[in-house]
Amino acid sequence: MMCQRRRERRSRRRRRHLPPPSFALLPSLAVVLLSAAAASTLLPRADAFAAWLVNKASGCWTDLVVDDVIMNAHPLPPSESAHPGVVVKAYDRGSGEEVRRRSLDGVIELVPEAKPWEYDLRMHIPPESRGMLADAQFVLSCGDETTSTSGGKFSGPKSGCGGSRAHGRGNDKAGLPFEIMPDAFDEKFGEDGRSVRVREVEVWAGWATDHAAVQLTEKLTFRLAGGGDTVEDGGGGGAGGEAEENAAADEKTGAAAEGAEVPEGEEA
């Protein structure tokens, strides 16, 4: 009995002399964990790059162009795409029918109206590529939230970046709501006083599968009927300025005709 008590006392003494755990490495470990957490919020994951480009502020700052870097690689231009048949198509919001494009240049021509032009935009994947790209991610863009190109805007739960982007998957059957406001092509004035009249809205997509580089599509162009490219001038500008010039020319012609002499033998 005495020996057993001695052993217990020795065991207690040994436990008392055990060195306390070291916390010297905890600050370094905390830094590593915080860095990993920050990286996970700032960098796109391979399985969610499209949502990151739409839902995160840092994603909105990333341009969907070949000069930027997405998932550690430059996006590929349409000419280098492994699937050039992947394109953006527009469908009428009301009828659900695909909007026809001009055969010459592929432009969708808009007839001037007093209400917005409303579409559902979808990624078209050719039949021969559907098996490989059924679950591809894509993001549609019509500019960015500060320099949006001419008034096009996405809406719905998958839109972001001020309405300039939306995202989806290759197997999505529903389109992404997109509209162009009637005043998108009105004359606007910049801070320098120069007027700008934009007559085109461009939409393009970037898509990818797994860890592959993002591939860009050709641009889908909406153009106001009878319009051309962006017009800039010093203040008058646009079709109004041209009409004023034509009216002035007609007035000069009329004044010259009134002052002209009528030869003898001819009636005025």
- Phi first, then psi, for residue 171 (nearest 5°) are -95, 5
- Inside any domain, residue 242: no
- Inside any domain, residue 149: yes
Measuring CA to CA, which residue among 136, 170, 153, 165 is closest to residue 63? 165
Report d(CA 70, CA 62) in Å as an integer. 8
Please answer whether residues 204 and 75 qualify as being in contact, where contact means their C-beta atoms are separated by less than 8 angstroms: no
- Inside any domain, residue 185: yes
Bridging pattern class, strands 176-180 and 117-124: antiparallel
- Inside any domain, residue 265: no
187-195, long-range: CB < 8 A, 24+ apart: 187/237, 187/238, 187/240, 189/235, 193/234, 193/235, 194/232, 194/233, 194/234, 194/235, 194/237, 195/231, 195/232, 195/233, 195/234, 195/235, 195/236, 195/237, 195/238
Place of tokens 């432009």: 107
Tally of domains within the chain: 1
Contacts of 63 (CB under 8 A, 6+ apart): 144
- Output the pLDDT for position 184: 83
pTM of the model: 0.66
Domain containing 103: what range?
Answer: 49-233
- Inside any domain, residue 106: yes
Please report, for the domain that includes residue 147, its CATH number: 2.60.40.10
Q: Which two tokens stand for residue 31?
A: 């830094």
Q: How far apart are the first and last CA of the chain?
A: 147
- Inside any domain, residue 35: no
- Inside any domain, residue 243: no
Report d(CA 209, CA 213) in Å as an integer. 8
pLDDT in tens, the chain (268 residues): 555 555 555 555 555 555 555 555 555 544 444 444 444 444 444 458 899 999 999 999 999 999 999 989 999 999 999 999 999 999 999 999 999 998 788 899 998 888 899 999 999 999 998 888 878 999 999 965 444 455 799 999 999 999 999 999 887 888 999 999 888 888 777 677 777 777 789 999 999 988 889 999 999 999 988 754 444 443 333 333 333 444 444 444 444 444 444 445 444 4
- Inside any domain, residue 138: yes
